[in-house]
Amino acid sequence: MNHFTWKKRLSQLVIVMVMLTLFPLTGFAEENDINMDPPLTGFEQRDGETWTTHEEEIEFLEEVATLSDRVSYSQIGTTVEGRPLHLVRVGFPEPPSDEDIANGNNMLVIGTQHGNEGAPREMALKLLRDLAFTDDEERLELLQDATILFIPTANPDGREADTRSNAEGIDINREHLSLRTLEVQAIASVLDEFNPDITVDGHERPRASGNPDIEMLWPRNLNVDEQLRSLNQEMVEDHLLPEVEGYGFSTGLYGTPGGAGGGDERIMRNMLGLRNGLGLLTETAGLQEPNYRVDAQMRTVEGVLSFYYDRFEEITSAVSEAPERQASLGNEQNQPFYLDGADNWEPTNVIEKKPTGYLLTNVQVDAMEKHMNFFSLEKENVYSAGEYVTMSQPKMGVIPFLFDKRATYNEVEGIALYNSQNVGTATNMSLLVDHFANENAFTNTSDVRTLKMQLTAVDRFEKKEDTSKVNKHLNGLIDLLNYQSDNDLVSEDAAEDLMKYALFLKEKWLD
Ligand SMILES: [Zn+2]
């Protein structure tokens, strides 16, 4: 139990004791009967004159959590300037344990990844308070079935400095694949632990004066589970846009095809889909009145809560079954993987036949430790020389983006394999030679034959565990590859991967 929860329990105990003294028979059925007004944010107290300050936010969260049984919060990270990153949980009658939240249903609201976009943060603070004190039956029913999580301020250093980036000058909403800042690591840990059914990522268009008041968008990346993407699109187009327009706001879809509205795997909106959940980007017009912008954000996210409530069964089953669908799609090699493009933009960089997985060296595995953890990637040890990351797993949608040398923002360049049999052996490498031969990577079939003969020799001595003979033939293999490469008898791409594989085998048979 964390520090805040203890403090809350203590204050609840005090309240209960006072109640028992005053009303020994009637009890204390309704916490909200206690004559205490829900706390206001700094922004609300000043009627939108200035944003809630960092200190006011800390105080506000503590107050809400103290006054309401429904709220708990904890620190999930610290920024480079030492500001806390908070996760707030709202449930009814109280938030379940983290384990139960993770095993149950939940939704997440993320405010202000970009520090100069203040309205989504104010929306998050108001909404968590409203949920903590609401009497609305529909909302209470939803809170009973699902915990609503909040990261009200995803970039507190940027908020304090009123900059888009964090204190290191990094736009954190380009790092959800690389996971290279403390802020995105905190967010990734929450996404990985709780797998929210729906996540809202709140933004603004700082220089926009209106037209429309608020824009929205779903994950457009082409590798997102199709059932999720179509449900997601339906949520935005058929429910949220008309509903928010009904409140008098003009609406639209964010960005342009191929640009900011595209399939970029590094941004939160697309990552939410690749992580097998529903996602929503909101973008208010930053030059309008702050109160108006916060209202537009509120109406939108209230619309999401209603959609979640109305379609609960459908949403939760689509989300809970998506990992299995993705794992099985990852196993279908005749299906493409899209390294760019979007559901409204024709891709230009496509792997027509998906790899079965990626072979990584130990050095690469060490460099990818965070990613393995925060994306919960399954990997298999390969003769202690490295690891194999199969595409037949729930998060297959991020794997080529991380490990394929053809991906634009890859983290390391693993060896893409097209057969999972005997990974890390000369037999498997021989199958990779076949793959490249089928792709017409060799000028002469005789060169394919000599490579395979050499690999047959390696295989024979691998099976006999004759280290010195394995190494002798591996050296011969490397000479052969160098010769073919120097004389343009093999494509650069194939030569590179085959050389990497030969070196992997050398590592495996190191004396
Ligand atoms: Zn933004």
Annotated active-site residue in 204, 283, 387, 462: 283
Distance 224 CA to ligand 1 centre (A): 22
What's the 3-state SS for 110-147? EECCCCCCCHHHHHHHHHHHHHHHCCCHHHHHHHHHEE
User: How many angstroms separate the CA atoms of 190 and 425, rounded?
Assistant: 38
CB of 511 closer than 8 Å to CB of 467: yes
E strands along 24-139, which residues?
71-78, 84-90, 105-111
Centre a 10 Å sphere on the Cβ of residue 386 and count the other Cβ atoms it contains. 25
Task: Kindly list the protein residues that place their beta carbon closer than 5 angstroms to ligand 1, a single-atom ion.
Answer: 114, 117, 203
Domain 37-46+61-321 has CATH 1.10.579.10: no
Distance 281 CA to ligand 1 centre (A): 9
At 415 the pLDDT is: 98
At 71 the pLDDT is: 98
At 29 the pLDDT is: 43
CA distances from 239 to 256, 311, 471 (A): 22, 11, 64
pTM listed for this prediction: 0.92
Contacts of residue 104, defined as CB under 8 A and 6 or more positions apart, other chains included, come to: 96, 145, 146, 147
Tokens, residue 434: 């076949």
At 256 the pLDDT is: 80
Distance 381 CA to ligand 1 centre (A): 40
Distance 203 CA to ligand 1 centre (A): 4
User: How many angstroms separate the CA atoms of 482 and 451, rounded?
Assistant: 11
CB of 76 closer than 8 Å to CB of 85: yes
Distance 185 CA to ligand 1 centre (A): 18
CA triple 75-109-411, angle to 5 deg: 75
Query: What 3-state class would DSSP assign to 457?
Result: helix
User: How many angstroms separate the CA atoms of 332 and 330, rounded?
Assistant: 6
Residues 400-431 as b or e (16 or more Cβ within 10 Å = b): bbbbbbebeebbbbbbbbbbbeebbbbbbbbb
At 36 the pLDDT is: 73
At 492 the pLDDT is: 97
Give the single-character DSSP code of 215.
Answer: E
Q: Is residue 496 among the annotated active site residues? A: no
At 259 the pLDDT is: 80
Distance 267 CA to ligand 1 centre (A): 10
Contacts of residue 460, defined as CB under 8 A and 6 or more positions apart, other chains included, come to: none
CA triple 104-105-107, angle to 5 deg: 145
Delimiting residues of CATH 3.40.630.10 domain(s) in the chain: 37-46+61-321
Distance 159 CA to ligand 1 centre (A): 12
At 70 the pLDDT is: 98
User: Tens digit of pLDDT per residue, the chain (511 long)?
Assistant: 444 444 455 555 555 555 445 444 444 444 444 557 899 999 999 999 999 999 999 999 999 999 999 999 999 999 999 999 999 999 999 999 999 999 999 999 999 999 999 999 999 999 999 999 999 999 999 999 999 999 999 999 999 999 999 999 999 999 999 999 999 999 999 999 999 999 999 999 999 999 999 999 999 999 999 999 999 999 999 999 999 999 999 999 999 877 888 999 999 999 999 999 999 999 999 999 999 999 999 999 999 999 999 999 999 999 999 999 999 999 999 999 999 999 999 999 999 999 999 999 999 999 999 999 999 999 999 999 999 999 999 999 999 999 999 999 999 999 999 999 999 999 999 999 999 999 999 999 999 999 999 999 999 999 999 999 999 999 999 999 999 999 999 999 999 999 999 999 999 998 6
Neighbouring C-alpha atoms within 13 Å toward the C-beta of 393:
18
Minimal CA–CA distance to 419: which of 442, 438, 405, 401? 438
Contacts of residue 288, defined as CB under 8 A and 6 or more positions apart, other chains included, come to: 209, 210, 213
